[in-house]
Amino acid sequence: MAARGASLTFETTIDSTDALLSLIKAALAPDGTPGFGEMVLYTSFGVVRGKLGLLFAQQLLGESLEHAASNHHVIELNEVSVEHYSNHLPTATFDRLYVRLDDVRGYALIGSHGQS
């Protein structure tokens, strides 16, 4: 039961994907450079941290928001670390990782472009 005055919102996967892609697109410079340092994606298998792939960003810039979710089923990240939810798996690192957008449960954009 929701607290008094609170409302509950249940987003579909499409709504969540649209919101994420819209947020990313709004944070991109005209050349596709992100205005944030890294992304944090909360997925079913763990917490994924990385930098948005430039090719993914440039493709997203060339599309309308209405078509972005139907055209993108994965997001490309570079310099990635994955903190697995399972205790027996260590943190993994990858030069590049592709994450299915329908597996993203939450997200955050961290830092300004050019910051560590």
pLDDT band at 109 (very low <50, low <70, confident <90, very high): very high
- Model confidence, pTM: 0.76
**Please, what are the domains in the chain?**
13-110 (2.30.30.100)
pLDDT, tens digit (0-9, with 9 covering 90-100), for 36-62: 999 999 999 999 999 999 988 988 888
Strand order through the sheet with 92-100: 92-100, 74-84, 46-52, 38-43, 104-110
pLDDT, tens digit (0-9, with 9 covering 90-100), for 69-102: 566 789 999 999 999 887 666 789 999 999 999 9
**Tokens encoding 41:** 């994606």
